[in-house]
Structure 1
Amino acid sequence: MKQLKPITNKLLWIFALGQFGWSLLSGVVSNWMVYYYTGSPDAQNPNTGLFASGITQEPILFKLTLFGLVLAAGRIFDAITDPLIAGWSDRSAYKGGRRIPFMRVMAIPFSLCTIALFTIPQTSSVGLNDTLLFILLMVFYLFMTMFCTPYNALIAELGDTQQHRINVSTFISFTFIVGQSISFLLPNVAGALEPSVGQYNSIRFAVAIMSAIACLAMLFPAFYIKERDYIESKPSETKPFTSLIKTFSNVQFRHFVYSDVIYFFALTLFQTGLAFYETKLMGIPDTMTFTLTATMTAISVCLYPVVNILAKKIGKKSLIIIGFFAYSVVFAITSICGEGVHWGFIVAITAAVPMAILGILPQACVADVAELTRLETGEDRSGMFFAARTFAFKMGQALAMVVFTSLTVSKTPQSYRTTAIFAFVTCFIGAVIFFRYNEKQILKSIEEHKH
């Protein structure tokens, strides 16, 4: 039997660079597509809705907008492809491993598609633009799934111990929020480029610069990490949808997923609306978005060591419930905020706590359940466990996209406040549901099987 190399924190940090890359691309699309393709400009934020004239804006069914339906369809398509890609990855026997080959192939197309989303659907024909936007979003989410699903499976496989599972979850949480935070720099980068390339091209060039940085971040771990040197894995024999059914038949996994879906519904409402909350409710220029996000990120990162230590002492479950309730407070504050940059800092500082907790620990919970299943069955289906989680929460995200664009079709301040109220109520419900997750029993069973 081949002697495997030890997994170190250095290796886990290199692995976490991939999370920075895909989170930057995801952040550019999730944080700015709605902002630039809908909304209306004002004196302080002239780029709001910059590309809106090229896309159908009027509701096409009740209050459902075409743009909201396209975004939701993209997320549903993304969710459906998750188990297919996970099954493909779990069952693969490539020389380079079950996960890394996917990452190597998909990094460049994923990045190019991000650029295309802000460039191609801008012809003189609204109907053609609608069609192009729909096709590109489907391709974007397919490429993201083909990179992220195998990548996420490595969280459980590199997390060979409870210590490593918490550490890798901490590291990728850090790189995730750094990637998301840098995506909020888009208006600032575009503003610096605008005198040279013009208003429209400045957005496109800014997206291209961020996509190039993200691509390099994804490629580095994909070529540095030799998967077979660290992981002894054999292809799963279970077919994708059979594996998906088996995964959802796990009672503890279902308890986790129910709350996770609701959490991501609430969080997606909030993230999609963040630029609008700041510009339309607080009266803050969109160029301030990065400053506020950087503040939130910096405080959150400072809390990472505390979360890491507390998770090992009091357990992940208690902290996750605290995180849910803390986010509920953030959403409640947003729903009643007034004008002034101080409101932005209040939200940013308050959100730092749940961001630190919920950025780290949910992945570790999935890794725990996947590890216990491997020990009980002798079959490693880590890819499917993470795919099942993303399948579920992307359904929540899809619904959130429809709800947000439908609630805000009037583009009034009250409509944006309503989305924050929805986020508050649903996140509170998610916290209550998570009480049913039995972390102690899972960890006890893992230890029993190992000894």
Structure 2
Amino acid sequence: MSTEAPPEHASVRLSPRTIVLYAIGSLGTGGYATLPGLVLTYFLTDNLGVAALAAGLIVTVAKIWDVVIDPLIGAASDRQLARTGSRRGFMVTGALALPVFFALTFAVPPSWGPVTGAICVLLAFLATATAFSLFQVPYVALPAELTGSYDERTRLLGWRVVVLTASILLFGAGGPALRKAGSDQVIGYLLMGIVAGLVIGIGMFIAARTADIAAGRTSPVGQAAVAPDGIREQYLSGFRALRRSQPFRALLGTFLLQALATGTMLAGAQYVATWVLRSEDAVTFVFIALVGPALLATPGWTVIARRVGKERAFAMASVLFTLAAASITAAVWAPGDWIFGSVAVAGIAYAGLQSLPMAMLPDVISHDERTNGHGQAGTFTGIWTAGETVGFALGATAVSLTLAATGYVSTVAGAAVAQPAEAITGIVLSFSILPAVLMLASLLPLRRYRLRRADIEVS
């Protein structure tokens, strides 16, 4: 049981141990968010010979499944908290199951054919997504229960994003490296799936201990109301949370559009490396350019948020990302290594785009607790995770639709093809102007976010 002061004392600082344990969870969330988004569509189109449109559909169906189950898991997590005093059970279950299904996702050989291969990948990835949601939904609920401090939440989530960005670098660079380490591409993908799945699962398992620390808090936020029984009532509970909390609607709308923007860039990175930079291995350097600056920038965004407020810092990061992404459009006419510079600027912004909204979500939850008397953090985070999933899923779908519309030629492992100029133009635009427009659009709902420091730290 933790000896830290209850979170209703807003000035209390979280212990380094709590911050480290919680941050380690992003080793799992970063890996799961990065590697499938980076290589799964490419694995389907360029290893199993699945058509680009079908590959995008597979990723989308798996993400739709997330949207269906996340609100249910959130409500069930609230019930588990009310019944046992901890959310740890679901988190541990997800951590143990994910490595198995993650490895199976990349274990399908090309010899099975594109149809059978696509079906097997879909089933394995659906199971992987379920395991991840069992961990992620209660994990995102914990900051609201760990502390009631406006600034401590920024600090907690800031360090989480440091680990998250390091995880993106680890999996973004290490995943393709593991793929190359195999004796052939088929073995390489299998090796990547096994090793990456184990690392993700270990990070998730360690972070599950944070749930026991949160269970020791005495804040009203941590004392969840009993979640409603029945599937219909559980979904209605999520919709009621959306309806009654204007700050939640504004923040979720912003984050959904930004997840779509970053998901589009993530899904297009491998294609940019292969067909614009003319090196499949260049995807490693794309991720170094993105994550290296983000590692350094995260503490800076924490400082900025303390001075000007989270919502203003969030808007600043969004504008910076928009400008950086839009500049990559010039690669249609002049491709080259200069792209890494634009990606690095986007990486500085990306650090803020990850840490600030996640630090604002606990504020929304505690504000709802104070004004409406409901302790349903899991319900909020179930809806939040579903929205994030929709954004990333549609990002991959947008890339797949662009590839299909511009005549991208799919292939199987070992076969060489030439892509039409229109397809390469589509790859560049899906990596630049499309995410820039989406990020710019996200500023509209952000303008309607009205919570400020004074609304959170009340006496």
Hey, what does 1:446 align to over in structure 2? Answer: 456
SS of structure 1 residue aligned to 2:163? helix
Count of aligned residue pairs for this structure pair: 422
Hey, what does 1:417 align to over in structure 2? Answer: 428
- Cα distance between partner residues in 1 of 2:29 and 2:457: 34
Alpha carbons 1:331, 1:421 under 8 Å: kept: yes
- Cα distance between partner residues in 1 of 2:170 and 2:280: 14
1:342 aligns with 2:338: yes
Hey, what does 2:325 align to over in structure 1? Answer: 331
Q: Equivalent residues in 2 for 1:21-420 (5 A)? A: 21-38=28-45, 49=46, 51-53=47-49, 55=50, 57=51, 65-93=53-81, 97-120=85-108, 122=110, 124-184=112-172, 185-191=174-180, 193-194=181-182, 197-223=183-209, 226-227=212-213, 230-232=216-218, 233-239=222-228, 240-249=234-243, 250-283=245-278, 285-337=279-331, 338-343=334-339, 345-409=340-404, 410-411=407-408, 412-419=423-430, 420=432
Deviations 1:201-252 (A, max 9, x none): 0221122112222222221232476346533444422422232122211112
Q: What is the CA-CA distance between 1:416 and the residue it aligns to?
A: 0.9
User: Could you say if the C-alpha distance between residues 322 and 120 of structure 1 is closer, same or farther in structure 2, counting changes exceeding 3 Å?
Assistant: same
- Cα distance between partner residues in 2 of 1:238 and 1:99: 13
1:12 aligns with 2:6: no
User: Could you say if the C-alpha distance between residues 68 and 225 of structure 1 is closer, same or farther in structure 2, counting changes exceeding 3 Å?
Assistant: closer
- Cα distance between partner residues in 2 of 1:120 and 1:94: 41
- Cα distance between partner residues in 2 of 1:320 and 1:430: 11
SS of structure 2 residue aligned to 1:286? coil
- Cα distance between partner residues in 1 of 2:439 and 2:262: 8
Q: What is the CA-CA distance between 1:121 and the residue it aligns to?
A: 6.2
- Give the unaligned 5+ runs of structure 1: 39-48, 59-64
TM-score (norm 2): 0.86
Alpha carbons 1:12, 1:158 under 8 Å: kept: no
User: Could you say if the C-alpha distance between residues 171 and 210 of structure 1 is closer, same or farther in structure 2, counting changes exceeding 3 Å?
Assistant: same
Q: What is the CA-CA distance between 1:122 and the residue it aligns to?
A: 4.6
User: Could you say if the C-alpha distance between residues 77 and 387 of structure 1 is closer, same or farther in structure 2, counting changes exceeding 3 Å?
Assistant: same
- Give the unaligned 5+ runs of structure 2: 6-13, 229-233, 409-422
- Cα distance between partner residues in 1 of 2:105 and 2:427: 25
SS of structure 2 residue aligned to 1:323? helix
Alpha carbons 1:4, 1:231 under 8 Å: kept: no
User: C-alpha root-mean-square deviation of aligned residues, in Å?
Assistant: 2.2
Hey, what does 1:431 align to over in structure 2? Answer: 443
Deviations 1:390-449 (A, max 9, x none): 222322333333221011122221111232322221211112331121132xx323333x
Identity %: 17
Q: What is the CA-CA distance between 1:256 and the residue it aligns to?
A: 1.5
- Cα distance between partner residues in 2 of 1:400 and 1:221: 28
Hey, what does 2:8 align to over in structure 1? Answer: none
* Amino acid paired to 1:28: L
Hey, what does 1:45 align to over in structure 2? Answer: none
User: Could you say if the C-alpha distance between residues 118 and 308 of structure 1 is closer, same or farther in structure 2, counting changes exceeding 3 Å?
Assistant: same
Q: What is the CA-CA distance between 1:83 and the residue it aligns to?
A: 0.7
Alpha carbons 2:28, 2:201 under 8 Å: kept: yes
* Amino acid paired to 1:360: S
- Cα distance between partner residues in 2 of 1:292 and 1:402: 21
Alpha carbons 1:110, 1:143 under 8 Å: kept: yes
- Cα distance between partner residues in 2 of 1:259 and 1:228: 28
